[in-house]
Structure 1
Amino acid sequence: MTQPEGTGTGRRPDDAYDVVIGGAGLAGSAAAILLARRGARVALLERRPDPDAYKVLCTHALTACAYPVLDELGLVPALEKAGAVRNEARWYTRWGWIAPRAAPGGPDLPYAYNVRRSTLDPLIRSHAAQTPGVELLLGHKVTGVLQDAGRTTGVRVETPDGERELRARLVVGADGKDSAVAKLAAIPTRRHGNGRFGYFAHFRDLPLPGGIGQAWFLEPDMAYSFPNDDGVTVLAVLPDKKRLPEFREDLEGSFHAFVRALPDAPPIDSARRVSKIIGTVDHPLVTRDPTAPGIALVGDAALTGDPLWGVGCGWALQTAQWLAEAVAPALTGGGDLDRALASYGRTHGRRLRPHQRLAVDFARSRPFNPLERLMFAAAARDAASARHMYLFASRLIGPLGFLAPAPMARAVAVNIRHRVRGPRRAG
């Protein structure tokens, strides 16, 4: 292994690094910071030349599962200063609103932040550029991967000054669901259809009850509204694709009509829209193996979920942390990188694949199944069940924890009690 030369951030004469990361968005910048802090020499590549570039199509939500990573990165004070909003939420269902609250006398509910990517992306990218051991290379587009005996050993990049080769023990793809790194390395891609499409816009002067986020489960249509930094609220609609013709015919009219029809709808007509209505009519869920010899994928490059759940940003940060924890000792100490990558792959699969399987199923644009009806109905009627739902929505527990015997038994009891008491009150 080539050893780092000093503590500066300039590149080595032979263009060799411990790690080359393609993509300086949320996942790539986090991975660069965490790997460099552990002693790795990192080249962080970003195809866009603007240091303030950001991802536009995003829910702008960092779920509570991301807070420990934000804390390790040292970004929490900067996010608070930038006006990021701690993300409480409530959800509408056919049984009423689910409004999670902390237990009396208990700890506050875990949280992270709602923050616009125009704020978040430049912030974390600047943080990466200032980290000793990271060289941020803007305007560098990955055009090929270097391989030796079936193992990735670096990348070929197009730069403002021409083509260049960068060699490394590990190449990381952090370049989104259409990852060029994954494609060039011939990593198989599994795409799962999404029965919904989505549009969103930013508004000012759009008050939300309690100033907290809201989501509507309309079975199969969906919508959400999240307050963000600088007094801007993100409002999104995710209808079933059978409604696509009406949106194509009149996007603005259909968007506003959809929002007005929501139960307890936000007052969209009195708000001021400060962005275009943007979105996508086809957003497949993407799953790839997160590792191959000499290569690792983080964030959406490895697994792209359904935007209606708002988990992509949190998973980008978590996967960056899991990768750094797994591979840094091998990269900086000359250990077995393949074994370290296998460890990362196991963690990635264990923590995220069960969530993805549920998301793929729900993306068929179906109504709630019996288990979902059981748990959502109980959460609308019972504070403890609502807190349990919140932990799952924040991805602090997995599907097995969500459907564990104790909370399911409580849900059954809550719903039976509701049915028994309901007729008595009516009488």
Structure 2
Amino acid sequence: MTEPESAEDAYDVVIAGGGLAGSAAAILLARRGARVALLERRSDPDAYKVLCTHSLQACAYPVLDELGLVPALEKAGAVPNRARWWTRWGWIEPHASAAGAELPYAYNIRRSTLDPLIRSRAAKTPGVDLLLGHQVTGLLREAERTVGVRVSTPEGEREIRARLVVGADGKNSAVAKFAGVRAQVHENARFGYLAHFRDLPLPDGISHAWFLEPDTAYAFPNDDGVTVVAVLPDKKRLPAFREDLEGSFLELVRGLPEAPPVDSAERVSKIVGTVDYPLITRESTAPGIALIGDAALTGDPLWGVGCGWALQSAQWLTEAVASAATGRGDLDGSLADYARTHRRRLRGHQMLSVDFAKAAVPFNPVQRLMFAAAARDEAMARHMYLFASRLIGPLRFLNPVALAKAAAVNLRHRGAPAPHAAARRTS
């Protein structure tokens, strides 16, 4: 391909989006010798994503470790995200086995803390140029291939050329749109609102989620003593929420089993949310282009997987293209490798999420089988935890042995009332 003409505007990689995925990719690629332009449309270096679960699943821990962020996260007050989940069969409470190692975890941390932290780390990485106030307005194309971007900056229009353009610009990705990457859009039959509360006690200080069938909710303790409380109700409840957002939000939370005591806590944010958050699946590559994070695949916020997948996709991309992006290999072949990894690791998860999101009805038979068994059996609870943390995929989660064990557990408990959580913990 044609090399960039201006040394000032010549990069190996240009990344659109200076959030979690983009900053992680910039750090990892630069460490492997790439010269990276990291573009962030907002001019404030402390800008952050507001609408988020503010949780990094355990699947992301190896990436955080590679980035060197674990000590900084813990210093910033990030909370290990162990969890328990309420179902009609009782609480699912994963614990390590008596002879086993501690269950894997990552962290809950507010994006107001996380985003500036990782963006600052990217800006300090040799080989990364963080360009604030730079918004992509188009792509540079040569022979059906993307070779750079056009951007709007505080100083005017600019062209930046690179071997590889990375779209890390979210679910409404401008890079994907300008490249003509088609999207599969899947309806989400739930809407969501969240708020932050200070000094909100939770049992054991761990994350809680409620599966009310079809409504769902969660409470995630975060840094600085702040807990994120979210509700994701069936869209049939939307008219009532629109009439009285605060009243409807608090009413749903107060009605949760073992509800968090929001009335005695201090609410430190507005109630924010969205009434339409579809799941979006795109091809993760095109000639000269790679998509990471929500730009490639936007999951259901119910499961809190977006941050983890943003970090993982940045790592997968780096592992596939780092050499080729610096002119030492076949870029098209490397992009194909990344696309295969992305599909293999995430499409199965997305398919299950799409099925759950489009039908706001009680659990289907397989879901009932697995959730009921996880509430009744410690080994099945651990199995559920590994899947919910995205440490195992759907094929392993629903393998014949696991399904048979779940059936045996439920048969053994047929007709028995759901055990009380405290009784299980002390038994």
Could you tell me which residue of structure 2 aligns to residue 76 of structure 1? 70
Q: Could you list the per-position Cα deviations for residues 229-255 of structure 1 after superposition, in whole angstroms to 9, with x for gaps in the alignment?
A: 000000000000000011000000001
| Pairwise CA RMSD | 1.6
Letter in 2 for 1:93: T
The alignment status of 1:289 with 2:279, answered yes or no, reads: no
Unaligned runs of 5+ in 2: 419-427
Unaligned runs of 5+ in 1: 5-10
CA drift of 1:177 comes to 0.1
CA drift of 1:12 comes to 6.4
Could you tell me which residue of structure 1 aligns to residue 137 of structure 2? 143
Could you tell me which residue of structure 2 aligns to residue 130 of structure 1? 124
The alignment status of 1:320 with 2:327, answered yes or no, reads: no
Structure 1 residue corresponding to 2:364, chosen from 363, 369, 381: 369
The alignment status of 1:308 with 2:305, answered yes or no, reads: no
Q: Could you list the per-position Cα deviations for residues 293-320 of structure 1 after superposition, in whole angstroms to 9, with x for gaps in the alignment?
A: 0000000000000000000000000000
User: Does the CA contact (< 8 Å) of 1:47 and 1:139 recur in 2?
Assistant: yes
Alignment of 1:20-35 (within 5 A): 20-35=14-29
Could you tell me which residue of structure 2 aligns to residue 400 of structure 1? 395
CA drift of 1:190 comes to 1.4
Could you tell me which residue of structure 1 aligns to residue 412 of structure 2? 417
The alignment status of 1:117 with 2:111, answered yes or no, reads: yes
CA drift of 1:185 comes to 1.1
Letter in 2 for 1:41: R
Q: Distance in 2 between matches of 1:267 and 1:30?
A: 36
Runs of 4+ with >2 A deviation: 1-4, 11-14, 420-423
CA drift of 1:14 comes to 4.4
Could you tell me which residue of structure 2 aligns to residue 168 of structure 1? 162
User: Does the CA contact (< 8 Å) of 1:2 and 1:16 recur in 2?
Assistant: no
SS at match of 1:410: helix
User: Does the CA contact (< 8 Å) of 1:330 and 1:340 recur in 2?
Assistant: yes
CA drift of 1:412 comes to 1.1
Q: Could you list the per-position Cα deviations for residues 15-41 of structure 1 after superposition, in whole angstroms to 9, with x for gaps in the alignment?
A: 110000000000000000000001111
1:421/1:194 CA distance change after superposition, 3 Å: closer
CA drift of 1:105 comes to 2.3
SS at match of 1:216: strand
Letter in 2 for 1:187: V
Alignment of 1:161-310 (within 5 A): 161-310=155-304
Tell me the TM-score normalized by structure 1.
0.96
Could you tell me which residue of structure 2 aligns to residue 18 of structure 1? 12
Alignment of 1:316-355 (within 5 A): 316-355=310-349
1:208/1:2 CA distance change after superposition, 3 Å: farther
CA drift of 1:107 comes to 0.2
Q: Distance in 2 between matches of 1:191 and 1:374?
A: 29
Q: Could you list the per-position Cα deviations for residues 104-125 of structure 1 after superposition, in whole angstroms to 9, with x for gaps in the alignment?
A: 0210000000000000000000
Q: Distance in 1 between matches of 2:2 and 2:317?
A: 20
SS at match of 1:338: helix
CA drift of 1:339 comes to 0.3
Share of identical aligned residues, percent? 77
User: Does the CA contact (< 8 Å) of 1:201 and 1:275 recur in 2?
Assistant: yes
Q: Could you list the per-position Cα deviations for residues 230-288 of structure 1 after superposition, in whole angstroms to 9, with x for gaps in the alignment?
A: 00000000000000011000000001100111111111111110000000000011111
1:421/1:60 CA distance change after superposition, 3 Å: closer
The alignment status of 1:387 with 2:382, answered yes or no, reads: yes
Q: Could you list the per-position Cα deviations for residues 334-369 of structure 1 after superposition, in whole angstroms to 9, with x for gaps in the alignment?
A: 311000000000000000000001111100222211
User: Does the CA contact (< 8 Å) of 1:2 and 1:17 recur in 2?
Assistant: no
CA drift of 1:409 comes to 1.5
User: Does the CA contact (< 8 Å) of 1:2 and 1:18 recur in 2?
Assistant: no
Could you tell me which residue of structure 1 aligns to residue 422 of structure 2? none
